[in-house]
Amino acid sequence: MPELPEVETVRLGLLPALAGRRLVRLEARRPDLRFPLPERFAERLEGRTILSLERRAKYMIATFEGGDALVLHLGMTGRFTIETAVQRSAPGSYIYAAGGDPRHDHVVFHMAGDDSEGGVRVTYNDARRFGFMVLVAEADLDAHPLMAGLGPEPLGAAFDASHLARRAAGKKVNLKSLLMDQRIVAGLGNIYVSEALHRAHLAPERKASTLADKKDLPHERAERLVSAIRATLADAIAAGGSTLRDYRHADGSQGAFQESFFVYDREGEACRQPGCGGTIRRAVHTGRSTFYCPRCQR
DNA sequence: ATGTCAACCTGAGTGC
DNA sequence: TGCACTCAGGTTGACA
């Protein structure tokens, strides 16, 4: 499900419920998600305060007092919902439906509240269980296999046309595959790769090597692509991400960026590029759908 | 090194 | 209603 904009939206929603609060009780209702949950999961974290909740690529990282980092990945269907004590005592004020089928509520974080009675319950629900949680010593985080190979943040300063051209030079893969590779740039997925390529007017089948000139210097196409990726992600974050099928924010609300898709899931519809007049097509690369306009993407 | 495919798991949608 | 089939926002590991 979630690509960078959705993870960022979820993170912002969870921030007030988790950061600065003490984890009173941790309920793991099954032993595993995609991977086994951490050993002695509850025992190790209960009673400790979460100092911060950050994002790297599509991961959220909760840092606990004392130096442990809980790395969270939402997989395809992972989502969090938040309930406060007030909402619990006033049935109907909380939209539980947003959390999905309660059979898939796998992990519950019971957070201390601002008053003696208060408290916040943060529930992780994941029907397909492609998500996971890994506990790492904070000092080892950057070297952890999940983090070590990641490319730069697409919205950060390290991601620019020179970087992209250098990593693309000589590569035979197409642009779709290049951008899906988290080692090149971290956080894009199937939706935003299609959208960014369209915004850059670059065809998904174009060879990655054409982003670089000889001497591996960035071609103008690389500049265009970097700008398009940044703009697409920034717009998506501003819109609260995309809501497809059942993805929701932590507060149960929906994102709006799907209204702004230029190509994703629009096969057969008209290209929205002003003056283009093309028709959106769907192709399959490595088992995943790619949407593009054969007219204005070259 | 590159590229394809299957696997992980469940639910939603479609067509008969 | 039921059944069979396809597809889904991600990642990894096995192959050719």
Q: What nucleotides of chain B have any atom within 7 angstroms of a protein Cβ?
A: 1-12
Q: How far apart are CA A71 and CA A48, in angstroms?
A: 16
Beta bridge partners of A59: A56, A73
Measuring CA to CA, how many Å separate A249 from each of A111, A147, A217?
A: 19, 25, 41
Residue A58 annotated as catalytic: yes
Q: How many CB atoms lie within 10 A of CB A288?
A: 14
> Is residue A13 a contact partner of residue A6, using CB atoms and an 8 Å limit?
no
Calculate the angstrom distance between C1' of B12 and CA of A198: 28
Q: How far apart are CA A109 and CA A189, in angstroms?
A: 28
Of A230, A288, A294, A295, catalytic: A288
Q: What is the pLDDT of residue A86?
A: 61
- Which residues in chain A, range 277-296, keep a C-beta under 7 Å from any nucleic strand B atom? 285-287
Nearest CA to A4 out of A262, A221, A179 is that of: A179
Q: What is the pLDDT of residue A162?
A: 96
Q: What is the pLDDT of residue A119?
A: 84
- Which residues in chain A, range 104-123, keep a C-beta under 7 Å from any nucleic strand C atom? none
Alpha-helix residue ranges (DSSP H) falling in A94-219: 145-148, 161-168, 175-180, 190-199
* pLDDT tens per residue across span A75-95: 999 999 888 766 555 443 333
The segments of chain A whose pLDDT lies below 70 read 1, 85-99, 114-118, 245-250
The amino acid that residue A134 corresponds to is: V
Q: What is the pLDDT of residue A87?
A: 58
Q: How far apart are CA A250 and CA A124, in angstroms?
A: 10
> Is residue A153 a contact partner of residue A234, using CB atoms and an 8 Å limit?
no
Calculate the angstrom distance between C1' of C7 and CA of A10: 25
Q: How far apart are CA A4 and CA A269, in angstroms?
A: 26
Calculate the angstrom distance between C1' of C9 and CA of A97: 20
> Is residue A183 a contact partner of residue A151, using CB atoms and an 8 Å limit?
yes
Residue-wise DSSP of A248-283: --TTS----GGGG-SSTT-TTSBP-STTT--B-EEE
Is A244 (CB) below 7 Å from strand B? no
Alpha-helix residue ranges (DSSP H) falling in chain A: 4-18, 41-45, 85-89, 145-148, 161-168, 175-180, 190-199, 220-238
Q: What is the pLDDT of residue A95?
A: 31
Residue-wise DSSP of A54-89: EEETTEEEEEETTTEEEEEE-TTTEEEEEEEHHHHH
Strand order in the sheet with A120-126: A23-28, A105-111, A120-126, A78-84
For nucleotide B11, the protein residue with its alpha carbon nearest to C1' is: A127
Q: What is the pLDDT of residue A117?
A: 56
Q: What is the pLDDT of residue A94?
A: 35
Is A183 (CB) below 7 Å from strand C? no
Q: What is the pLDDT of residue A202?
A: 97
> Is residue A70 a contact partner of residue A64, using CB atoms and an 8 Å limit?
yes
